[in-house]
Amino acid sequence: MPTRSVLSILLLVIFAGTSLAKDQPAQVLVWPATGQPVVRFSLGKFKEIGNTGKLHSYSIDVTAENLWGKRISQADFSLYLFDKDKVRIGDAWLSISDVAPGQVLKFQIMAQTSGTPVSTVLSPRVLPVELQPLAPLKKISMTVNSVPQGANVRLDDTEVGVTPKIIQVLPGKHTLEFTKDGFNTGHFPLEITPEDVSGGSVSYELGVSAHDTVELRDGTVISGDVESVSATEVLVRLGGTVQRFNRNQVKRIGLVPRDSASQ
């Protein structure tokens, strides 16, 4: 008899656990995530209302509560949805207005995803003046590349690495500078807004080579001004000094057109 009772309890626990796993629990998101809390969103179960191939449509019951000691005139947030591999697959819009301290709002939002959502991230889109100082500075990640690759990159006069490179950027106006031996220096204006999210990319095509290039048979590439080429040697001016290379050392020469005034 005791054995049967223990078995019954175990079965009850198993069935209860299955039911909890099947019914998605509410997700609670507090903004900002650190510091003084301002608003708390509780997301109910994601109710699928339709799908076309991999595209899913959901309705979500939302409860919003003003945790701040002041009235919130208006605040808009993006709700980003991610799959089990933490890949962003969709988003939704959360908006509240004229919310008194301690007041609770209940509403419903719609979301479309390209997969099954598992986790969410809350990000402010538009905040009133009184809330903007509470918003933490948010950096976004983006990939910076160049054609050809291997260029040195500076972000606002600070070295950040060699392309291709993933960098972290704060909202605002910035300048990317690309430099590579043998190519003209390039500048790219970059503007990041608070609504931007990580995952973007920039690719910059470097200008024509600023100097002649001499490729040696050992793989070395020399950038300078070719003074002369004969059957036995190649003369290259490097920073005001002429260097001589045996013709048998040279694999390939690339000449840059120059007008008569620059010669």
User: Quick one: pLDDT at residue 1?
Assistant: 44
* Contact yes or no for 151/162 (Cβ under 8 A): yes
Query: What single letter denotes the amino acid at residue 58?
Result: Y
Q: Which two structure tokens, joined as six digits, stand for 171?
A: 């909202």
Mean pLDDT in runs of 10 for the chain (263 residues)? 42 35 66 90 92 90 94 93 88 94 96 91 86 80 89 92 91 89 84 76 79 81 84 85 89 72 45
CA-nearest of 122, 91, 123, 124 to 109 is 91
Distance CA 34, CA 32 (A): 5
Across the chain, where does the E strand assignment appear? Answer: 27-31, 39-52, 55-66, 72-82, 88-99, 104-113, 119-126, 140-147, 152-155, 158-162, 165-169, 172-179, 186-192, 200-205, 212-216, 221-229, 233-238, 241-246, 250-254
| Closest listed residue to residue 84, CA positions, set 56, 112, 118 | 118
CB atoms < 10 A from the CB of 249, how many?
13
Gap between the Cα atoms of 244 and 263, Å rounded: 20
Report the half-sphere exposure of 101 (CA within 13 A, side-chain side). Answer: 4
